[in-house]
Chain A
Amino acid sequence: MRPEFETFLARLYTDAPLRARFLAAPREEAERQGLTVVECAALERIDRVGLELSARSFAHKRALTASGRRARSWWKYLLRY
């Protein structure tokens, strides 16, 4: 697998407009990104439901990280211990 393929997958997970263009015409979009014939064929068979759910899940995780929802002051419990 080439790094270019890995990067394109990462873009599909994170870039909603690109993902919409890709799902409308997978082979054409993959070819436009300069991927190989074999890579384009693999992407044409992609698990479309799984792609959408994965993208949604990753977006949720990024939002959680950005909001700093996880408490950082856990150590206060320990200093009282």
Chain B
Amino acid sequence: MGEADVAVVEANGSDRLTADASDRFGLTWQPALAAGILANLDRIDVVEVIAEEQFGASSRATRALETLAQHVPLLVHGVALGPASTAPVDAFRLEKLARLVDRVEPAFWSEHLACVRAGDIEIGHLAAAPRTEATIDATAANLSRAAALVGARPMVENISTLMEPPASDRSEAEWISSVIAASGCDLLLDLHNVHANSLNFGFDPLDYLDRLDPERIGAIHLAGGCWINTAGDEQRYLDDHLHDVPDPVYDLLAEVGARVRRPLTVILERDGRFPPMSDLLWQLDRARAALAQGRLRADRVGASAK
């Protein structure tokens, strides 16, 4: 049993453990979860909305989003800007993001450190950019452009990848840290992506966490995935958002709690194969317990050092 499991057992056994009062826990908005989210706003502190799903929305859908914002703090999460590219980010997309942010007034907006298009080719999803000095500079420039047009810096998210990007000359953690430093953006740390990449490319996820500046971690994503087979009898782990959060990810969340002192926003991402809402709420409770357990551990270490 991992430390996070111990914490959740304690949580279920007596008073529910709570993370720092300012920590927030929530879900990504999904049509299939709408009724469940709205019925459980006493246990959901924040809701993440995918930006691209709101672009071109009808006036009724826009009104509905504004209604949602009256009931629960919203976050706007972009999936298609693609700032990790040598090409400038698309001004038209940025304008749409800016209008959405103006309308919804989210607690923050976020985007992935990924390349999604090059030349006139749409890749279709999030591709890892080669980890070089050139892509650090280009990504920072794109994030600066985005911040200027939207009116707020995005939090930027580490992505999962099934392939080490060719021509890379540094580790993922080094590249992420450099982008954070160069851009001034805070990190939305996706712990399942760290878990998935650590399994696929054989690094220690704790070493990865140690290489990040804890003061620059502002939010957390949790998700699940599965192993997939290749034609050559090899396996890789896919971040699919279709499975429950695996145990090692809760353990990583406890490790984050032990390192990060600032309040965190923790979002559970689930895009399909939806379990009952009670299961998702239980996973959120388990996340609360894991983060609280990590913070408690840091407090004890701090107290014993005095």
Q: Which residues of A contact B (CB under 8 A)?
A: 1-3, 5-7, 9-11, 13-14, 38-39, 42-43, 45-47, 49-54, 57-59, 61-62, 65, 70-79, 81
Alpha-carbon distance A53/B161, docked complex (angstroms): 10
A6-B86, A46-B163, A58-B127 are known; give 7 further A-B pairs, CB within 8 A: A9-B127, A10-B117, A13-B127, A49-B230, A49-B234, A72-B61, A75-B64
Q: Which residues of B contact A (CB under 8 A)?
A: 29-32, 34-35, 38, 53, 57-58, 60-61, 63-65, 67-68, 71, 85-87, 115, 117-119, 121-125, 127, 129-130, 132, 134-135, 161-167, 200, 228, 230-232, 234, 236, 238
Contacting A79 at CB < 8 Å: which of B64, B232, B234? B64
User: What are 21 pairs between A and B in contact, CB < 8 Å?
Assistant: A3-B118, A5-B167, A6-B86, A6-B119, A6-B129, A7-B119, A14-B124, A42-B166, A43-B167, A50-B161, A50-B162, A51-B163, A53-B230, A53-B236, A57-B125, A62-B122, A73-B31, A74-B53, A75-B60, A77-B38, A81-B71
The smallest beta-carbon distance between A6 and chain B, in angstroms, is 4
Q: Are A3 and B86 in contact (CB under 8 A)?
A: yes
The smallest beta-carbon distance between A56 and chain B, in angstroms, is 9
Residues on B with beta carbons closer than 8 Å to the beta carbon of A61: 124-125
Residues on A with beta carbons closer than 8 Å to the beta carbon of B71: 81
SS of B interface (majority): mixed
The smallest beta-carbon distance between B242 and chain A, in angstroms, is 12
Residue among B32, B87, B125, B163 with the highest chain A CB neighbour number at 10 A? B163
User: Which residue of the partner chain A has the closest CB to B84?
Assistant: A6
Q: Are A78 and B68 in contact (CB under 8 A)?
A: yes
SS of A interface (majority): helix
Q: Are A75 and B65 in contact (CB under 8 A)?
A: yes
The smallest beta-carbon distance between A53 and chain B, in angstroms, is 4
Q: Are A1 and B132 in contact (CB under 8 A)?
A: yes
Q: Are A11 and B121 in contact (CB under 8 A)?
A: yes
Residues on A with beta carbons closer than 8 Å to the beta carbon of B127: 9-10, 13, 54, 58
Q: Are B115 and A6 in contact (CB under 8 A)?
A: yes
Q: Are B167 and A1 in contact (CB under 8 A)?
A: yes
Alpha-carbon distance A50/B35, docked complex (angstroms): 39
Residue among A5, A46, A50 with the highest chain B CB neighbour number at 10 A? A50
User: Which residue of the partner chain A has the closest CB to B50?
Assistant: A70
Residues on B with beta carbons closer than 8 Å to the beta carbon of A52: 230-231
Residues on A with beta carbons closer than 8 Å to the beta carbon of B121: 7, 10-11, 14
Residues on A with beta carbons closer than 8 Å to the beta carbon of B61: 72-75
Q: Are A3 and B119 in contact (CB under 8 A)?
A: yes
Residue among A6, A53, A81 with the highest chain B CB neighbour number at 10 A? A6
**Closest 7 interchain pairs by CB?**
A50-B163, A75-B64, A77-B34, A62-B124, A74-B31, A78-B64, A10-B118
Alpha-carbon distance A10/B161, docked complex (angstroms): 14
